[in-house]
Amino acid sequence: MKYPVVRLMVGLMVRLMLGLVLLLPGLATASEKAPHTLLVFGDSLSAAYGIDEEAGWVTLLAEKMQSDYWPIQVVNGSVSGETTTGGLARLPAMLDSYNPDLVILELGGNDGLRGLPINLMRQNLATMVDLAQARGAIVLLVGIQIPPNYGPRYTEPFFAQFAELAAEKELALVPFLIDGIPQQPELMQRDGIHPKAEAQWMILENVWPELEPLLHTVLE
C-alpha cells in the first residue's frame, strides 16, 4: 500500500522540479532587467520636513509610479536645510551610487531664505545640471519662490533664475513647486514655509504634468 503513495510523491517532485527548470530562464531574464532610477534631489520641501516621511510628496510619487506599473524606482536624495552649495558637494556621490536616468533638481529655496548671492545659486544649479547630464540623466528643474518680505529687488530676480536656467539648458521646468498652497494658510505648517501632509498631493500634481513626458522619454 505504501508504493503507490511513494510513486505519487516522486511524480509530484519530478513535476515540481521540471516546473522550476522551466521557470528559471524567466527569472534570470527578469533579474537582468534592472529598473530605471529617478533621483529626487532637493531640500526640506522634498524631504517631508515636519511630517511623516510616508506622507511626503516623493513617497506619494513612488506609490503612484508603482501602482501605475512604471518600471522606475524612486530614490529620495533630499536633505532638509540643503543649499545649492551643499547639493553640489553631495551630487557626484549620489550620481555614482544610483546612476539615475532622471533627476528632479529641487534646490535654491534655502539660498533665498539665507539671502545668499543669486549668481552663486545660478552657477551651482547650472553645474549640477551639467554633472547630471554628463552621466546621461534627464533633468527636471523645479523652481521656488521665497516670501515677499525679502523685497522685490531680491525675490523677483531670484525666482526668474529658474526659468532663465531652464531656457538656457533646454530643461523641463516646474515653475513653483508649492504653487497654490501658500495661498491657503490652513495647508501650511506654523513656519509658513512648509506645506502640511494634507497638501502633499498638491505638490505631486504640480510636478506630474512636467514629469510624465520625461518618464516616457526614459523608457523609449
The set of catalytic residues is 44, 191, 194
CA distance 7 to 13: 10
- Could you give the strand order of the β-sheet that contains 102-106, starting from the edge strand earlier in sequence? 72-76, 36-42, 102-106, 138-142, 172-174
* Burial category of 42 from C-beta neighbours within 10 Å (exposed 0-12, middle 13-18, buried 19 and up): buried
